[in-house]
Each structure stands twice: as C-alpha cells, then as structure tokens.
Amino acid sequence: MDIGFWLIQTLNALQLSMLLFLLSVGLTVIFGLMHFVNLAHGALYAFGAYVAATVSASLGYWPALVLAPIAVAAIGFVLYATLIRSMRKSGPMAQVLVTFGLIFALLDLTRILWGDLALGMQLPQLLSGRVTLGGLGYPVYRLFIIALGAAVFVTLALVLGRTQIGAMIRAGVDNDEMAACLGINVERLFFAVFCVGCALAGLAGVVAAPILSVTPDMGLQILIPTLIVIVIGGLGSLKGAITGSLIYGFVTTFGAVFLPGLASILIYALLALVLVVRPTGLFPARG
C-alpha cells in the first residue's frame, strides 16, 4: 500500500463521487425548489446514455456530449408540460406513484427504441489513453469525469451564489410563496430548473456510458445511490449534493478495499446514522 495505491483509490472515489454529483444535483434542486419527488430522474439518465451511444456511433463523442443533455432536457420539457406541472400540488405519495410508473414507461420506451442488448460507446482519442500516477497507470477518461464534475460544481456555485437568477432560485427554495410575493415568476423558475436538472441527468448518462454498459435498467441501478446522496447531503442544497456525493464515493470505494465483507452495508449504516442525528441531512436548504 504505497502512495500510488492511495492515489489511485482516491481518484476512483472522486470519479464515482463526481458521477453521482452530476446526477444528484439536478434532482436535489428539483426536490428543494419544487417539492416534487421525481423518481424518474434515473430513467432520464439512462435515456441520456442511450442517446449518447447512438449519436456517438455516427458523429463521435463530443457531439454526443452536447446533444444528449439537450435531448433529455427536451424530454423534461414535455414531461413538465404534460404531467409534472399538474402533479406538483398532488402530495408526495401521488408523485412517488406517478413517477415510479414513469420509470417503467421510459424503461419500455428504451427497449422499444434500442432493444435489450447492452450498447457500448467509443471514447475519443484525446480521452482514451492512460497517465502514470504514483507508478501506476490511470485512465485519462476517469480524470476527465473528475474535472467535468468539478467544473459543473464551480459553475453552479457561481450561478447560485453570484447572480440574480441564483438569488431567485435560493429565494424559491427557502420560501416559494414569499418569492412569488416579491415579484419572482416562480412558475417559470420551476420550469427552467426542472429542464436544467434533466439536462444534468442526461450529462451524467453521457459520461457514464463509456465506462458502464448502456442497458435499459441502468437508471434503476443508479436511483438508490442517488437518493442516498440526497438524503445524506440534504434537500435543495448544492453543498449537500457535493458533500453527499463525496461521502458516498469515498465510503463505497475504501469500504470495498478495507472491509469487502461489509462494504455493501457501510453506506446504509451511515445513512441510518445521518437520519438519526440529522434527519434533514447535513446541509439542507433552509426551506
């Protein structure tokens, strides 16, 4: 266990954390701002992966990186206009039931369009190599995922903390009724945030596609880790999303190394501890 071992395991943890962050940050802001339980977020992630695999087969990776989030945002637009807006005041149980059913509707749609066989996605030449770190080789693409997640975090932090639209979003998360009284078009804000959250789910699908098999049920596989991240970090909080993602990534990665027999239950034990000590999560939004 030399410095190379620790470095590689730390990078593995960061790569998993940033992938979960890309998926969880859109969902947690939707939860916090709209008070809407959208369990179909994972299905949008899977749809983004399929779109990326299809586009990349003909146009390459970089067009897929741009077009897949746009396609998933377009799906979010349709879902919001036809279903989400009318369900916002229905209560969490109705939202859970409807979006849970939407998971399987989107699952069957992907099977109709692409079939049940797993798809792969070719990496561009720029990201396909390995670099030597601590005497060991490490894939460049995993470093790209870490850098992309960090860039998204910094961008969102600047937008939410330094711009007028960010102040409006924070006001809506803290108290949407008061924000509406102050003249903020909360409905339009809800719509924009929902579409951005869907686009981030599509972006997570793009970056996951080359390292995971693109299958119809990949959205179901990622849903539980994403919900764990949100519960640990706290609803509606960018700080909570990045903190929960880092905790999940490091506990899962180093747990598998040092306690392989208990690795599968460590994160659930931590989740239970957080729920007992801080039921609202570590960094929840005030609202």
- 175-219 pLDDT, tens digit per residue, is 777 888 878 887 788 888 889 989 999 999 999 999 888 998 898
d(CA 209, CA 214): 6
Q: Which pLDDT value is given to residue 116?
A: 85
| CA distance linking residue 251 with residue 273, whole number of Å | 14
CA atoms in the 13 A half-sphere facing the CB of 285: 25
Residue 286's pLDDT band (cuts 50, 70, 90): low
Q: Please give the single-letter amino acid code of residue 237.
A: S
Cα gap 100→110, rounded to integer Å: 16
Handedness of CA 33, 37, 38, 39 (dihedral sign): positive
What's the mean pLDDT in 140-164?
A: 91
Q: How far apart are CA 246 and CA 233, in angstroms?
A: 10
Q: And the tokens for 261?
A: 């027999």
What is the average pLDDT across 258-281? 86
- For the cut 60, the answer to whether the pLDDT of residue 24 exceeds it is yes
Q: Please give the share of the chain, as a percent, with pLDDT higher than 70.
A: 97
Structure tokens given for 55: 């586009």
Contacts of 243-248 spanning 24+ positions with Cβ under 8 A: 243/282, 243/283, 244/24, 244/281, 244/282, 245/17, 245/18, 245/20, 245/21, 245/24, 246/13, 246/14, 246/17, 248/16, 248/17, 248/20
Q: Where are the domains of the chain?
A: 3-277
Q: Tokens in use for 224? A: 């539980």
Q: Per-residue confidence at 246, pLDDT binned at 50, 70, 90?
A: very high
- Where does the pLDDT of residue 5 fall: very low under 50, low under 70, confident under 90, or very high at 90 and above? confident
With a CB cutoff of 8 Å and minimum separation 6, the contacts of 57 are 122
For the cut 60, the answer to whether the pLDDT of residue 284 exceeds it is yes
Query: Class for domain 3-277, per CATH?
Result: mainly alpha
Q: Which residue in the block uniquely carries the two structure tokens 């970090």?
A: 233
CB atoms under 10 Å from CB of 287, counted, come to: 17
Residue-by-residue DSSP string for 65-85: HHHHHHHHHHHHHHHIIIIIH
pLDDT of residue 256: 87
- Which distant-in-sequence residues (6+ apart) come within 8 Å of 142 by Cβ? 11, 12, 15, 211
In this predicted model, what pLDDT tens digit does every residue of 49-87 receive, in sequence order? 999 999 999 999 999 999 999 999 999 999 888 888 888
pLDDT of residue 1: 58
| Cα 198 from chain centre | 9
For residues 106 and 46, the answer to whether their CB atoms sit within 8 Å is yes
Residue count of the chain, please give it: 287
